[in-house]
Amino acid sequence: MKTLNPAWVKAAQRRWETSPYLSLLSMNLTDISWASSRVEIPLAKKHLQFMGVVHGGVFCSLIDATCYWAVYTMTPPEVALTTVELKVNYLAPAQEGRLVCLGRSLKLGSTLGLAEARVEDEEGRLLAHGTITAMVL
């Protein structure tokens, strides 16, 4: 497995921290390595829908961001990515605690990348699973 340049990792984390949307959802990029990433959200009232459970959009955003960064670790510096497809399976609700999302890149080609992520609670219970297709720009 390849290792990432520590300076690149620091630069990626700085870019992450400047995103207003990721900040709005309180997402934290807690690990980034070759073809994988880990993102966590400490749940708060702002993440809940009217029935008192985490809104599906939070799961989607978490999966999208985690998958994106897993694929992005494999791209050359001059390449950008954008998500062109997102698929999510909701498997169990969450109300409190921390969401932990583990993403991994499955394939990166010259025009498309594929990644998957699993969202778990702090005890490791699977809450959601998703995939993204990312277009290489």
CA distances from 3 to 34, 74, 85 (A): 6, 10, 28
Q: Is residue 43 within 8 Å of 95, Cβ to Cβ?
A: yes
- 13-35 residue pLDDT tens: 999 999 999 999 999 999 999 99
- Residues 129, 91 contacting (CB under 8 angstroms): yes
pTM for this entry: 0.96
pLDDT at 95: 97
pLDDT in tens, the chain (137 residues): 799 999 989 988 999 999 999 999 999 999 999 999 999 999 999 999 999 999 999 999 999 999 999 999 999 888 999 999 999 999 999 999 999 999 999 999 999 999 999 999 999 999 999 999 999 99
